Structure 1
């Protein structure tokens, strides 16, 4: 019984931060849009991340979907060259000090990628 409790507590300690980080609760409910120039891109697990320099000079973390959803959207790494213009549509982080958006739709150049098609 004691070993089962230890395992349960350890699993909870791992799962809770991951759920909090990747959920939508940390983001505003209203739609938000930001644009800028791509500096760097990472499409790996647990989710993709773009670094985008906005016109005002701030560098935004543009959080993408997990790799499977990125693949379904047909977004490929080859489309994400540094210097390309990016527009991210989604939800801004609740902490105003964090330049971060959780992206539902991403426009790269003239092409739109729907990362979360089930979200309105």
Structure 2
């Protein structure tokens, strides 16, 4: 399965958001996803499996629990694919960073003169 096919599913994207906050038990992930999407425990397990099998998540046993975490393997593939497209947004982000810094300097200067 292509990385973007994996990421195209909103349930899998939400699971990755949860895992990005840190390692999570399968029970914790399942409870959150079931509450938010109303899908069954086996359906959540299938999404976790797709993430594992495609390099987006890892799982490790911890006694009777299974702990899931983000695996950056597939994200590196996505990052490489995006490389030729960065030219479309990098200048805009750089300009925004310049404006934010300019605003901070201005507020600091105004704070010093009052």
State whether TM-score is above 0.5. Answer: no
Q: Which protein is bigger by CA-based radius of gyration?
A: 2
Instruction: Tell me which protein shows more strand as a share of its residues.
Output: 1
Instruction: Tell me which protein shows more helix as a share of its residues.
Output: 2
TM range (shorter): under 0.3
TM superposition score normalised by structure 1: 0.21
